[in-house]
Amino acid sequence: MTAALTTADVACLFRELANAVAQARDELCRLDGVIGDADHGIAMEQGFAAASQAIEALPAQATLADQLNAAAKGFLNAVGASSGPLYATAFMRAAKVAGARHELLLNEAPGLIVAMAEGIRSRGRAEIGEKTMVDAWAPAAAAIEQGMADGLPVREIMTRAGEAATAGAESTIAMVATKGRSSRLGERSIGHVDPGAASAAMVLNVIAENWRRHDTD
């Protein structure tokens, strides 16, 4: 039997994400304090808490698209920082791919990450190498596209996606910020990891770990 991802699984995943970013709040604020305004941990904590609560508040018959659109709205309303519209767009793109269904096949799930990465890239108009969360999301999406083309199992695809996101976040240390608040520092941003890329790698690794648990074939 092919594994599936249900609305209950999505609600559970958002609870895990909210817990993970809440635990990382102080560290993410510290990273943002170095090249930004020290609020990124709060933005992520409040955003994912709101997204998870918005999903919990839905009626039982809500679809995957309803959940992801509710997450987008919740995140956007809770977060005034620039990560707000970026994650909201990501969730809306995922909602479009998931559709008005109550479950999807697990092997469709990595495609949601590809859609989210593209949403973030187009909303923020940032490309790889500009020291933003795109430096974590885009390599993860590329790893997924490659893994899907090669017909790899979801657990392997998601392991590679998580590793690509972690390496991508690390690669921002050597970069000069040209987008967002930290671009004001110019060359002085070199030597510090981008907080949005660090949190994106964390988020992607939580998702990877969750979907690996579902991939039991």
Report the residue number, 35 or 109, with the smaller CB distance to Mg ion. Answer: 35
Q: Is the dihedral of CA 109, 210, 22, 15 positive or negative?
A: positive
Write the interaction track for ligand ADP spanning residues 68-107; mark x where CB under 6 A is met and - where it is not: -------------xxx--x---------------------
Tokens representing residue 85 in the block:
């519209």
- Rg of the chain over CA atoms, in angstroms? 16
Residue 39 binds ligand ADP, judged by CB under 6 A: yes
Phi and psi angles of residue 5, each rounded to the nearest 5 degrees, phi first? -120, 115
Minimum distance of ligand ADP from residue 95's CB (angstroms): 20
The interface with ligand ADP within residues 136-175 (CB under 6 A) comprises none
Helix residue ranges, H only, the chain = 7-23, 25-35, 40-56, 64-78, 83-98, 109-124, 134-149, 154-171, 195-214
Minimum distance of Mg ion from residue 192's CB (angstroms): 13
Minimum distance of ligand ADP from residue 142's CB (angstroms): 16
Number of residue whose CB is nearest Mg ion: 36
Of these, 5, 9, 39, 44, which contacts Mg ion (CB under 5 A)?
Answer: 39
205 HSE (CA, 13 A, CB side): 16
Beta bridge partners of 105: 4
Residue 124 binds ligand ADP, judged by CB under 6 A: yes
Phi and psi angles of residue 104, each rounded to the nearest 5 degrees, phi first? -130, 160
Choose one: 53-61, 143-151, 154-162, 194-202; the region binding ligand ADP (CB under 6 A).
194-202
Of these, 37, 56, 127, 150, which contacts ligand ADP (CB under 6 A)?
Answer: 37
Residue 112, contacted partner among Mg ion, ligand ADP, none, CB below 5-8 A by kind: none
Report the residue number, 66 or 194, with the smaller CB distance to ligand ADP. Answer: 194
Minimum distance of Mg ion from residue 181's CB (angstroms): 6
**CA-based nearest residue to 199, from 73, 16, 24, 14:** 24
